[in-house]
Structure 1
């Protein structure tokens, strides 16, 4: 492993920080800015699993998730149960969730055979206007 040059890292971080604030979220204003950034990244990345901005999207999503868990009353339900409930409340079929995947993928998620990924979680949170943290798997 190549030795890291902290001066180069500091310069890169300062340049990045002028564009985007990638720090823990401490206010609703910061939260809304981070959600806006995650929305923009999600739109650009789409369903790509190898997009160069995917890691940045995952970092922003993790910061949002941490804020959600700390500041919102997140239901104590498994993600597939929450998704099933939201589908029922909105009269949706499995085929009505293209942001998750095809009907087969949705079926696997609802049965617990497959977990939601960060992109799917963000899309569902945006669609149903619930905190993204509600869709993260927790130990029960």
Structure 2
């Protein structure tokens, strides 16, 4: 068995993936040396992927529209979280930014992750 080492490049990453692949369908018995190695390899792979393949949160308006589609909501259904229907349309058409109160309500009432809602418009479309 090879010595475990940090994943520093794509070659190391591919090697770790190849080593872990047999365990994906059939995890080793808990408490075994194989299980410990599997867990350590998973941690190394996850750390490498987080650093090199991170996924940015979606655009706030797209996150809202996605949740609306998932839940079958119409713009009028957002009024308790955003305000009057005209304000809902301003948000959906990017004419007005979300306020902290709106973000909190959308998060707590619709379960939209807060980090998806707090991204500023200038972060999304740099000049």
- TM-score where L is the length of structure 1: 0.44
Larger Rg: 2
TM-score for the superposition, normalised by structure 2: 0.48
